[in-house]
Amino acid sequence: GIPHARVNLKHGMKVEALRHSRETCTACAGTILLEFAALSRLSGEPIFEVKAHAAMDALWKMRHRSSELMGTVLNVHSGDWIRRESGVGAGIDSYYEYCLKSYILLGDERYLARFNRHYNAIMKYISQGPMLLDVQMHRPHTKTRNFMDALLAFWPGLQVLSGDLKPAVQTHEMLYQVMQMHTFIPEAFTFDFQVHWGQHHLRPEFIESTYFLYRATGDHYYLHAGKKALKALQQHARVPCGYAAVNDVRTGKHDDRMDSYVLSETFKYLFLLFSDPADLILNIEDFIFTTEAHLLPLTLGVLGNHTMGARDQEDQVQMLDYMRSCPSPNKLFPETVRRPLRDLVTGVCPRISSPKRLRASDFQASNADHLRTVYDMGITMVSLGEGKVQLLHSFYNAKSPEDAERGLIFMQEMVELSKSNAIPNTQLQAVAFKRKGDTELHVLEAGPSHFGMELTKDMSVVQQAVYAQPIKLCSTLKNAKEVRDKIVIMERGECTFVDKARRAQSAGAVAAIVFDNTPNTSINNQQMFAMSGDGKDDVQIPVVFLFTKEAEQLMAAIKQQPTVELTLMSVSGLKERLERERADTTKTDTKSESKATP
């Protein structure tokens, strides 16, 4: 019963672009009932409303029965959830809207019951004061992202329609402050109200909520909010042929687009906000807005509905358990609700800075105090196996808001640190060898380490190689005698690079080569990096890293000639040495030719 996201009106789903279409969003599937019911009741053809009810029923059955929340993306054919994130913004927004508006237009109480059960869940799990934070539908206490998107700005307007004005005032005030901070509400913004996605597509949702709050409260504050939004459009989006979307609110650069909703919704709600109802040619109270701000007459609900089937048993709920009454705006005084939020957005700036905080460059995974500190900052470490670790940050796992802020800074520093670990070509190391019968020196490019001896200029190590036993060298070396005074070769994984190096050095190795444990990696398809240490300076031997493809070449050479000598030195130093040798050879050849000339 769930419709596809797109269909070709002439060829259906048989066109190539749609043939393999499987996914749709909850809002896509759940935002057709008003229009299809109107079509059925005006045309006398019940099939449209029947199909739309079937879609809503199918979605209702897919909710999580414990949390009463919905995901955002689902498989049309199997009914399985593809994305289980639950919020009130992109991908799900108008589904909740149509649950309530279907009751208002059609008088079908099952939709009011469904809306109220969803609404109670949203206010329990997703609403955090004025903010609305996405959660997992099946684990509603787990937040799924660190930002909010602009589409959730419709929510205060829907809350007004449902009669819950206080949280509507609070969320609208938060959004209004974000708008004033960035001129426009960015497409997405973080929990500390910084820009996450900088685009602004002239969306109508904030104006829509502003209009509904003004109509509900009569508070001229909302007229001023609308005036400020209109002024921003005139100053920053107006172009000779219309209004252009903003590519980035931080730069003000325009996009060459003006979506249809700018006229049908954004300017319509602005016009209605500043209009005197007596001057309109129709009574807005006799209509309901669709999600695209089209007006449907409420009289459609009394035309007779021949499409309603038997209700599911679970829809037979005690309506009084979910009914809400609209409070009198004369007693609400929106200003008293807004006042505690006055510095909500500006109050988080400037961002904190503490000289005592743990910096990413100082972090050591073996330091228990460091591990406790990152845990307090809301950061957890997930082992990916083979010695690799992933860091995950959650604002709500932090010990305090200040610790959470430090955690964000720490994660940003980690990203920059990982980028800095990508080394320039001037620091590349070389593993070179020449087998018997070879005329050319084979040179394999290798990565350096942040520990051990650094091979620079003419510094080099020349020796035969021996494989470590065990090959990953994360336990006691079994062939220590063979390793002494040799270059030891070992595999990445199971323990840190520096631990491997310490065991090799303890056995008397003169150098070490670590090769990758991931198939098909090569310096030609991977960014080379420097192996990290733990801050101690106890490793004195040089240690280099080879990706898999280069290591396979080395292993093939050793297999063919076990006594082959390897040369470890910097790539730049080796090139200079080879150039000098070629120059010396050229001079020698020239002298020989001169002597041989009669």
Question: E strands, 139-250, where?
Answer: 147-149, 188-190, 195-197, 238-239, 242-243
| Rounded Cα distance, 406 and 553, in Å | 45
Residue 506 near residue 485, CB atoms below 8 Å? no
DSSP secondary structure code for residue 423 in this structure:
P
Of residues 541, 533, 551, 465, the one with CA closest to residue 504: 541
Residue type, 29: A
CB-based burial of residue 276 (10 Å sphere; 0-12 exposed, 13-18 middle, 19+ buried)?
A: exposed
- 6, 14, 48, 228 from 11: Cα distances, Å: 12, 6, 19, 47
| Rounded Cα distance, 211 and 207, in Å | 6
| Rounded Cα distance, 40 and 46, in Å | 5
> What dihedral angle (degrees, nearest 10) is formed by the CA atoms of 336, 341, 346, 351?
150
Residue 161 near residue 212, CB atoms below 8 Å? yes
- Give the distance, in angstroms, between the CA of residue 438 and the centroid of all CA atoms in the same chain: 52
Residue for token digits 């685009």?
199
456 is in an annotated binding site: no
Residue 448 near residue 531, CB atoms below 8 Å? yes
Residue for token digits 């005032």?
169
Within 10 angstroms of residue 510's Cβ, the number of other Cβ atoms is 19
| Rounded Cα distance, 555 and 483, in Å | 16
Count each helix (H run) and each strand (E run) in the chain, helices first.
20, 23
Residue 565 near residue 558, CB atoms below 8 Å? no
Residue 188 backbone dihedrals phi, psi, to 5 degrees: -155, 145
For the record, the structure tokens of 413 come out as 């520093």
| Rounded Cα distance, 121 and 561, in Å | 70
* Contacting residues for 4 by C-beta, under 8 A, at least 6 apart: 13, 18, 21, 24, 76
Residue 140 near residue 125, CB atoms below 8 Å? yes
Task: Label the pairing between strands 188-190 and 147-149.
Answer: antiparallel
Would you call 365 helix, strand, or coil by DSSP? Answer: coil
> What dihedral angle (degrees, nearest 10) is formed by the CA atoms of 161, 163, 166, 170?
-20
Q: Which residues belong to the annotated binding site for Ca(2+)?
A: 291
Q: Which residues belong to the annotated binding site?
A: 291
